[in-house]
Structure 1
């Protein structure tokens, strides 16, 4: 059992340990596999084939396992390292501590959004983008999108998601108008015309975080660690409202075999959502 901490509560040594372990995974090439996996399983509604990571009920369990795989890789480098979380409802400006030069570095420069500060700056020599959606070799960010400002989600928006009584609903995709999963994942729906929560965080960071290759920016892990914590909070607040759908969809349903019910395995690990509902034997969150 280990503890994931709020990034603002990390000691200097814990910050350095996390950064060093991430850089080592990058040096060995293992980091690129995580970027590749996320790109591979980020399947939109309109595309054919199974949807495991986004726009689907398995958004939470898939990313929980993804984070665990990454955390285990970090711990093979340094057993003391865990993935901290970024509470974007509190640390909600480009001046927040996670963007410091000794941690994640700051926003990109105006002309090309290239990050030039911190350990993940291209000029530091340790962070070359190899699996991006463009040919750029440098990490990009546009914190807050000054040219057309966007804000991070606030506590009320997060509370609105946490107040949802059910987990997910038909048609089990980005158009769902009710349920916790899409309220937190944050796809625009008719009743809420703007992206919310998780999705708006990606947009606020900008740059590489806008693409399916978003793990190219190490803030991805801190963001999804918080998303995982919020799922945990929702489960505790609604103990009788479990994962949906519970059983395989009926024959003829257009989402049958595209989305995973409770006991249908998730690629690429062949693990069922039912095996990922409880993390408490592995880790806890310091809140």
Structure 2
């Protein structure tokens, strides 16, 4: 059984193997397919129209499947690799080990946000931005530039305490665990982290920054934690509902995956804590 670990506990070998696998998926062209898919869905998901990956109840199962497919791509390169998660409630600064040059690299330079060091710096020759939001071919970050601090553990606990998974109108205005975690209202967890990292992470093409996978692996862990705390709270909606994915409807772009299929992460992996 694969175990997803806190990135702060990874050994130097685990870090290197994760990076090597990511770079190889990029070289093979498959990485950009993930970026393209995410960008298409986030641009297409709207509060009043059909929504699948964002602003909707299926935000969590959709991303669980999305991450699982990416993890499987990494494992085709190095079978022992799993997605680490970034606990941004603990590793809260630009000086955290996450941003070291032997792992994800550091902040972007002030004038244009270009990441200058680490394996994903364009200057290293392995990481060109091909699914672009502008014409610049380099990875961009602006750590802390959104003007808000990263969420705290108290913020997380407040969201985990919410018993109802989701509620009408099933969009960015809903009251419920999913929307508070996604960050469209309340203390704002997921969205706030994207803004804090800045650069590509603040765009629909956010998987261009490999930190996307570590951030969403933690979001996935928080969903698993919520499920453990509220075992009697179901995924909602359970029955067909206009414009959103109910429990047993398929989630695009997959033809055979429903939210029900994604409820139990332990069939695929576990977390270290």
Normalising TM by the smaller chain, what interval? over 0.9
User: Where do 5+ consecutive residues of structure 1 fail to align?
Assistant: 250-255
Deviations 1:15-56 (A, max 9, x none): 0000000000111111000001101111342574x2111000
Partner of 1:185: 182
**Whole-Å separation in 1 of the counterparts to 2:74 and 2:269:** 15
CA contact (8 A) 1:132 1:208 kept: no
* Structure 2 residue 159 is matched with structure 1 residue 174: no
Cα RMSD after superposing both structures = 1.1
Q: TM-score, normalised by structure 2?
A: 0.97
Partner of 1:260: 245
Partner of 1:236: 228
Deviations 1:93-134 (A, max 9, x none): 000001000000000000000000100001000000000211
* Structure 2 residue 183 is matched with structure 1 residue 198: no
Partner of 1:45: 46
**Whole-Å separation in 1 of the counterparts to 2:7 and 2:96:** 10
SS state at 2:270 partner: strand
CA contact (8 A) 1:7 1:85 kept: yes
SS state at 1:234 partner: helix
Partner of 2:124: 124
**Whole-Å separation in 2 of the counterparts to 1:277 and 1:40:** 24
**Whole-Å separation in 2 of the counterparts to 1:196 and 1:114:** 27
Deviations 1:150-180 (A, max 9, x none): 210001111111010100000000011x210
Partner of 2:35: 35
**Whole-Å separation in 2 of the counterparts to 1:150 and 1:167:** 26
**Whole-Å separation in 2 of the counterparts to 1:196 and 1:21:** 32
**Whole-Å separation in 1 of the counterparts to 2:47 and 2:87:** 32
Q: TM-score, normalised by structure 1?
A: 0.92
Give 1:135 deviation, angstroms. 1.1
**Whole-Å separation in 1 of the counterparts to 2:95 and 2:246:** 41
Deviations 1:215-267 (A, max 9, x none): 00000000000000000000000000010000002xxxxxx1x2100001001
User: Where do 5+ consecutive residues of structure 2 fail to align?
Assistant: none
5 Å-filtered alignment, 1:134-283, equals: 134-145=134-145, 149-176=147-174, 178-188=175-185, 192=186, 196-249=188-241, 256=242, 258-270=243-255, 271-283=257-269
**Once superposed, which parts of structure 1, at least 4 consecutive aligned residues long, lie more than 2 Å away?**
43-48
SS state at 2:266 partner: coil
SS state at 1:132 partner: coil
**Whole-Å separation in 1 of the counterparts to 2:82 and 2:179:** 27
